[in-house]
Structures are given as C-alpha cells and as structure tokens.
Structure 1
Amino acid sequence: MKGVKPLILASIVAMSATVQANDLNKVIDKSSEINQSAAQSQTKIDKIADSMQGRLQQFKTLNKEIDGLTVYNAQLSKQLSNQMSEMEAINLSMDQVSIIERQITPLMLRMITGLEQFVALDVPFLTDEREKRLASLKDMMNRADINSSEKFRRVLEAYQVEVDYGRTIEAYTALLDVDGQEREVDFLRIGRLELIYLTRDGKKAGSWDTTSKQFVALDDSTISQISKGLRIARKQLAPDMLTLPVHAAD
C-alpha cells in the first residue's frame, strides 16, 4: 500500500495542473473577449465622437448662415422700405402730372384759338401755310397717341414761328386777285410792317393797307425799290436801304 501513495499524489498533482491550465486558458479567453469588447466600445465611442464633431461643425455653419440671413433680411427690409418710399413719390408725381394735364389741355385749346384769331386779324401773308399749321394743331389735340408735353411743345413752336415773322424779311410767290383777275405775283414781306406785291411782269405793284384791310395800288416809281427788296430778301443782293411806302395802322 505504501507504493500506491506516490502514484496517487502524482495523479493529483497532474490533475491539479490540468485544472489550473484550463482555468488560465479561460481567463485568457475572457481577457481577450474583454479586450475585444473594449476595442469595439472604443470604436463606437470614436464614431460617436466623430459624429458629434460633425454635427457641431454643422451647427456652427448653420449659425453662420443664420447670421448671414439676418443681415441680408435687414438689408432687404431697408431696400423694400426705400422702394416703397420711391413708389409713393412716383404715385404723388403721377397725381400731380394728372392735375397738370387736366389744366394744360384747356390752356392749349385757348392758345390755339387765340393764335387763330391773331392770324385772321394779321397782315395776310403766307395765308395757306399759316392756316394749315392751325389746322394741324387742332387735329393734334384730338390724337391720343401724342402726349401732352409734345402737344404743348408744338403749340409753343407755332407761336415762335409767328413771333419770328415779325423780325424777318421774306420773298415768296402766290396767287392774288389783281383788278378782278387772279394772277401769280411776288410778295415782299418786311416783318409785319409791310406786305407788298409785284406782278411777275413787273408792271403793277401794291401794298396791304392795315386800315382798309385791302391791297392798294402803288405808283410805278416804287417798282424799282420793290424789285430791289425782293432780290435782297432772296439773298441775291446784300442788305441795303429801301425807300418804300408804309400803310401801317394809326
């Protein structure tokens, strides 16, 4: 029996070593699992951290965009406010223009009527031309495609033409009843002071009498001066002194 004890002891030692080895392996395996789990956890933590960092950056970017939009909206509000003020000013101006247009139309009509009366009472030179100008003004006033400012400009232009007649000398040809016969004559207009005619054959002459409102015959002695005046008016002669009869109103 004494020989059996060492064997049993050795077996026990061997079994104990085996058990310890198994336990150690389990511990190592468990440690590996723990390390692997820790690594996975760290990876998750890193991903979460990266995600948080990305969202933080997005938040900062969004805040910058919001700040930019705030400034833009403030500027836009100022622009809209200025535009509204300009629109109000334009509306006011349009109202004023409408008032002016309502006032200027009757004024132009009165001006045309006054001009027509003036021409009718004036020395009868360029009668057809002046009557056509008046007719054109009357027709213009009925046209909707011409604005008020252009109409007014044309009325003033017609007045200016009449004013210029009073300070110019002119020669032109037209028909005139002479001794009961319609004849082509040369007219010499010296401002509004004198309107003289000379027949084309140079034999008869006359001047407008503002008192009797008709042409009166002139002496043959005036014909040479009238011919000279016609040549001066046509720029065929240099300006020179003329001796002509004047039939002006008292």
Structure 2
Amino acid sequence: MKCVKPLLLASVLATTASVQANDLNQVIDKSNAINESAQKTQTKINSISDSMQSRLQTFKTLNKEIDGLAVYNAQLDKQIKNQLDEMSAINASMDQVSVIERQITPLMLRMITGLEQFVALDVPFLSQERATRVETLKNMMERADVTSSEKFRRVVEAYQVEVDYGRTIEAYTSLLDVDGQEREVDFLRIGRLELLYVTKDGSHAGSWNQAAQKFVAVDDTAISQINKGLRIARKQLAPDMLTLPVHASK
C-alpha cells in the first residue's frame, strides 16, 4: 500500500500538466485568432482610411471646379447680357435704316448741286475735269446697283478733292483762247489764290482776274517767274520764292 501513493500522485500531476498544456494551447490559439482578427480589422481600417482620404481629395477637387465654374458662369452671364444689349441696339438701328436712307438721298442731291454751283463760280482751273466729276456724281445717283453708302462716299470724296485744290500747286497743259486764237498753253495753279498761263513760245502770259471773270495779260517780267513756278510744280526745281501778280479779293 505504501507504493500506491507515489504512483497516484504522479498520475495526478501528469493529468494536471496535460490539462494546463491544453488550456495554454487554447489560450495561445485564441490569442492568435484575436491577433489575426485584429490584423484583418486594421487592414479594413487602413483601407477605409485610404478610401476616405481619396474621397476627401476628390471632394476638394470638385469644390474647386465648382468654384471655377461659378466664376466662369458669372462671366458668361455678363457677356450674354452685353450681347443682348448689342442685339437690341442693332435691331433699333436696323429699324431706322430706311428712315436714314430716305433722308440721306436728298442730302446728297443738295451736296452735288452745291458742288456744281461752286465749280461754276470758282477759278476756272481743270474746268472739264471738275465738270465731268460732278456729272458723274449726278448720273451715279440714278443707278440702283450702287449702294447709298457708296454714293455718299463718292460725294464726300469729290468734296475732298476740291478741298485739296486749295492747298496744292499744280501745272498742266490745255487749250485757251489767246487774242482770239485757240492756243496750247501751260497753266500754273497756286491753290485757289492764283491761276496763270504762259504760251508754249513764251510770247503771251496772263493771270485770272476773278472780279473781271477773265484772264488779263501780265508783264513780260512775270513770264520767267511763271516758268519757274511751272518747274517747281512739276518737281523739276526745288521750292523757292516766286514773285507773281495777285489780284486782291474784294
């Protein structure tokens, strides 16, 4: 009986050790399972965090785009408003076009008549050329294939030509009745201040007298000055002082 107790004690100890080992294994397994679950949970958390960061960045980007679109739309609204205002102004102008055209035609006719009278009363230089210009304008006014704007442009252009005559010097050749005989002469026009002529042989020269409405003879001493003026007008001589007879205006 004395030898039975040690064996029983050893058996109890072995059983206890086995139970403890099983419990420890279970604890370890549970700990590993918890760790694996924690790792999986952390992985999910990291994935959710990354997704949230990406969505937050996308949200910020979209907000910036929305702000930009708001500014762009506001600018477009201003442009559209301006365009609508311009369209309204254009429509109003178009409504008045027919009225303006009816008014501009009588104005042009009066301008042409005034130009014709002016040429007739002016110093008689380039008489045929200027009369032809007026006649061309009168014929143009009857044409339907020329727009009103083009007609007005040509009338104004004719006026500008007449204005330019008053501040230029010119030499040209034409026929003139000299002492009852038609002769070829050189004319010298100095603005509208003076119109002179000299025959080709230099034997006769004259100056236009606006008050008398005719050419009057000038002294032979003026012929050299007229020839000098002709050369200056033809750019054959540098500009220089001229001594010429001038008929004072009344």
Q: Same fold (TM over 0.5)?
A: yes
Moved more, 85-94 or 19-28: 85-94
Question: Is 1:151 the equivalent of 2:154?
Answer: yes
SS in 1 for 2:156: helix
User: How do 1:71-150 residues align onto structure 2 when only pairs under 5 Å count?
Assistant: 71-93=71-93, 99-116=99-116, 119=119, 126-138=126-138, 143=146, 147=150, 150=153
- Alignment partner, residue 238 of structure 1: 243
SS in 1 for 2:244: coil
How far apart are residue 42 of structure 1 and its match?
2.0
Question: Is 1:67 the equivalent of 2:60?
Answer: no
Structure 2 CA distance for partners of 1:157 and 1:98, relative to 1, 3 Å: farther
Provide, for residues 198-248 of structure 1, a one-character-per-residue CA deviation record: whole Å limited to 9, x for no partner: 87675899x99x99x9x8xx9xxx85x365566555556613478xxxxxx
The amino acid that maps onto 1:16 is T
* In structure 1, distance between residues paired with 2:25 and 2:64: 58
CA contact (8 A) 2:225 2:244 kept: yes
How far apart are residue 13 of structure 1 and its match?
2.8
Structure 2 CA distance for partners of 1:73 and 1:36, relative to 1, 3 Å: same
* In structure 2, distance between residues paired with 1:53 and 1:189: 91
* In structure 2, distance between residues paired with 1:27 and 1:138: 121
How far apart are residue 21 of structure 1 and its match?
0.9
* In structure 2, distance between residues paired with 1:75 and 1:58: 26
SS in 2 for 1:239: coil
Provide, for residues 143-187 of structure 1, a one-character-per-residue CA deviation record: whole Å limited to 9, x for no partner: 45973553242132255468x49xx99986533567986543567
- Alignment partner, residue 51 of structure 2: 51
CA contact (8 A) 2:174 2:186 kept: yes
- Alignment partner, residue 20 of structure 1: 20
Structure 2 CA distance for partners of 1:94 and 1:2, relative to 1, 3 Å: same
Provide, for residues 102-153 of structure 1, a one-character-per-residue CA deviation record: whole Å limited to 9, x for no partner: 4323422343245346656878653322233224535665545973553242
The amino acid that maps onto 2:15 is M
CA contact (8 A) 1:171 1:230 kept: no
* In structure 2, distance between residues paired with 1:228 and 1:26: 146
How far apart are residue 17 of structure 1 and its match?
1.7
Question: Which residues of structure 2 form unaligned runs of 5+?
Answer: 230-241
Q: Provide the TM-score with structure 1 as the length reference.
A: 0.61
Question: Which residues of structure 1 form unaligned runs of 5+?
Answer: 243-250
How far apart are residue 65 of structure 1 and its match?
2.9
User: How do 1:196-215 residues align onto structure 2 when only pairs under 5 Å count?
Assistant: 202=203
The amino acid that maps onto 1:107 is L
The amino acid that maps onto 2:244 is P
* In structure 1, distance between residues paired with 2:191 and 2:35: 123
CA contact (8 A) 2:185 2:200 kept: yes
CA RMSD of aligned residues (A): 4.9
Structure 2 CA distance for partners of 1:191 and 1:73, relative to 1, 3 Å: closer
The amino acid that maps onto 2:150 is N
Moved more, 97-106 or 78-87: 97-106
* In structure 2, distance between residues paired with 1:22 and 1:15: 11
